[in-house]
Amino acid sequence: MNPFACQSVLTLLLTSTLAMSSAHLAFADDDDDEDDEHEHKRNSLFESRLAPVVNATYSEECGSCHMAYQPGLLPPRDWARIMAPDALINHYGDDASLSEALRAEISAFLGANAANVARSMVPGDASNTGAVSGGLPRITESADFKHEHDEIPARLVTGNPEVNSFSQCNACHQKAAEGNYDERWIDIPGHGPWRD
């Protein structure tokens, strides 16, 4: 039994009642349990709970400047673009280059655990390909991400020295490192919990 299952049903009931109008993709999937986990994974890429990162090399090498994003936040081809040797040298303006051994190990981990590309609104799909700066895909540029975050005013993000950028998931999502983006664990610095 998934320990979140009961909680999730409650969340679903609560969010459906309170926020019928702001239908967002993730909460429809909150009502998960182990039985439909496969289904769940196949149909939804941007969800409130993702498998945590379990690769020490990845956490160490890719979790120092920002959190180690869950592999499930991007489809395989986006991770492949990010992990290309040339791309790592100019990584969103930073140098994140790695030895070939580390690069290969992390690439394999990300590729194997990436989001399934079955759905059309996946990050990096036609809806946002090309809209990304420097040619590198972003989780934060995906249609699903924008849909979830479009009501948050810039002063709480780029104008907030404790956040700076949407890329800093864990600045607002207290359990982002565990892959838990559930709304109950949101605490925006200088603002507090999010109620919509």
Residues within the interface to ligand HEC (CB under 6 A): 24, 26-27, 46, 48, 61-62, 64-66, 69, 73, 82, 91-94, 96, 106, 138-140, 148-149, 151-152, 156-157, 163, 165-169, 171-173, 181-183, 186, 188, 194, 196
Mark out the alpha helices in the chain (DSSP H runs): 5-18, 37-43, 56-62, 76-83, 85-89, 100-113, 143-149, 169-172
Residue 130 neighbours by CB distance under 10 Å: 7
CB of 126 to ligand HEC, least distance (A): 18
> Which lies closer to ligand HEC via its Cβ, residue 42 or residue 146?
146
- Of 38 and 159, CB closest to ligand HEC: 159
- Beta carbon of residue 110, minimum distance to ligand HEC (angstroms, whole number): 7
The nearer residue to ligand HEC, 39 or 168, going by C-beta atoms, is 168
Structure tokens at 194: 């999010």
Minimum Å distance from CB 63 to ligand HEC? 8
| Residue listed under structure tokens 């945590």 | 52
Smallest gap from Cβ 15 to ligand HEC, in A, equals 8
Q: Identify the helix (H) or strand (E) that includes residue 101.
A: helix 100-113
Please give the structure tokens belonging to residue 49. 């709970």
**How many C-beta atoms surround the C-beta of residue 22 within 10 A?**
12
